[in-house]
Amino acid sequence: MIIYSVIKFLIAVVSILIIGGILPGIRLRGNSFWTASLVALVIGLLNFLVYPFMVIITIPITVFSFGIFLFILNGLVVWWASKIVGRFEVDNFWWAILFSILVSFITFIFEWYVFPTGSY
């Protein structure tokens, strides 16, 4: 179980490094691996501690937008992570939304490749 969690964390770090290197509005300063690791940790903590409350509070607008508003919430989590981690810079909120979408996609592809049956 611990190995599975470590692998998932490393996949998230690699995804952040890839997308952070591609998008011009996202910058990972300093030692990129450690910065990406810190970003993955902070985003994970925000997703665990804050995101569920944000989803509950915004249920009406999420339903009204057919779930599209969840992209805004994910971008907000990335934006907050950029404010917490000083070496992670996001130019504006739209870059944060695009970053969250692309990191989710790349992470999904890597996890599908590493864990093809969905089991651990």
Report the percent of the chain where pLDDT is more than 70.
Answer: 98
Report the C-alpha gap between 60 and 57 in whole angstroms.
8
For all residues of the chain together, what is the average pLDDT? 94
Each residue's pLDDT tens digit, 67-97: 999 999 999 999 999 999 999 999 999 999 9
Q: Is the pLDDT of residue 118 over 80?
A: no
Q: Is the pLDDT of residue 102 over 90?
A: yes
Of 9, 61, 78, 1, nearest to 37 (Cα)?
9
Cβ contact 71:100 at 8 Å: yes
CA angle, corner 113, sides to 47 and 18, nearest 5? 60
Both tokens of 70, joined, read: 């969840």
Each residue's pLDDT tens digit, 22-42: 999 999 998 899 999 999 999
Q: Is the pLDDT of residue 66 over 60?
A: yes
Helix axes of 2-22 and 32-49: crossing angle, nearest 10 degrees: 110
